[in-house]
Amino acid sequence: MENGQKNTKKIIAIIAVVLAVLLAVAGLTIWSYHVYQANNDPTAPGQTDISGESASGSEPAGDESVTASKSGASTQSGSKSTTGKRGGTANLPDLSIPKEVLEQLTNPNATLPAVTPAETATDAAVWGTEDEKPSGGTPVKNLSTVQQIVSYFNSAANQVKTGKPALNAKATLRVRENITGSSEAENTSQSYQKGTNLNDAFPVAGQSWSSKLEATGVKSATCSQKDGKYYIAIFMKDEKDPKPLTSNHGKAFTCFDSEELMDMAAQSGDAEAQAMLKNMGFTTNYSGCKISCVVDAKTGKMLSAKYYTNVTMKISVSGLSVIPVSLIMNVTTTQDFSMKW
């Protein structure tokens, strides 16, 4: 699976793993297994997976736990919950659900864990001040309005797929969720030889084009010139539940598709899963998303680009045989690309 699609699938897989807790409460663990398996595809032929390290936040302490039965009844257990590692095989979370987790699931005022200073420093290193505006850069007269900058960016981004340069792609994915109060980060890196089809490797994944961005979806944009290069930064307007390909974000970013998650869940064919899906609410809010890129001023060819997305997801389930539960997740992704023509 190529880089852009793989990042979207990772988000779905992570949600599937966390949803396993919800499903355990309802006694529907088979559904989560199917979703996890469907999204945990191996690396596709023709690409190099250089790294895939991950660092998980610690589990909440507490020996007292509750195990959900098929009927929705709970029994006491003395074991702690464990979270399976994501990799080539699916390891579902243990069905022993800590008391603290159940409290979070049913707390209407639950909030996400705060970002630690270490995480802030790490994220700042991924997206630095030079991505916002290069030091020593001068304004470009004919690229001074949002419309002009967006149009120029579209042209440069689309050339990446038509020109097929050698491409190095890195991605940093961070997930925070309210159930365990943990924060997890994962880094990946892939490379593509010159002439490789980049339709799935570069945003928008799965398309022969890279950007159809419109100025109406952009909050602000800047362009500076330095050392014969244009430094462009585009800041998006916030958007709720953006649809892939057609929304403001969907025209330039590989958006998370909530309908895809539901479709994959439906493939299990489990009648109880279908009933649960009818009572599931799923919303996404894209906030503070942005793009930076460096373009050769003479040729108009893109030399590097970064795509940053910040998505808050809310999943709620009601009408079950157990008490209503909810999940809040924040997913931030930075994709870092460099091209050699």
Write down the pTM of the prediction. 0.71
pLDDT at site 27: 40
Mean pLDDT of the 223-232 span: 96
pLDDT at site 167: 98
pLDDT band at 50 (very low <50, low <70, confident <90, very high): very low
Is 32's pLDDT higher than 60?
A: no
Is 214's pLDDT higher than 70?
A: yes
Q: What percent of the chain has pLDDT over 70?
A: 57
pLDDT band at 232 (very low <50, low <70, confident <90, very high): very high
Q: What percent of the chain has pLDDT over 90?
A: 39
Which one-letter amino acid corresponds to residue 134? P
Is 38's pLDDT higher than 90?
A: no
Cβ-based burial of 201 (10 A; exposed 0-12, middle 13-18, buried ≥19): buried
Partner residues linked to 325 by β-bridges: 317
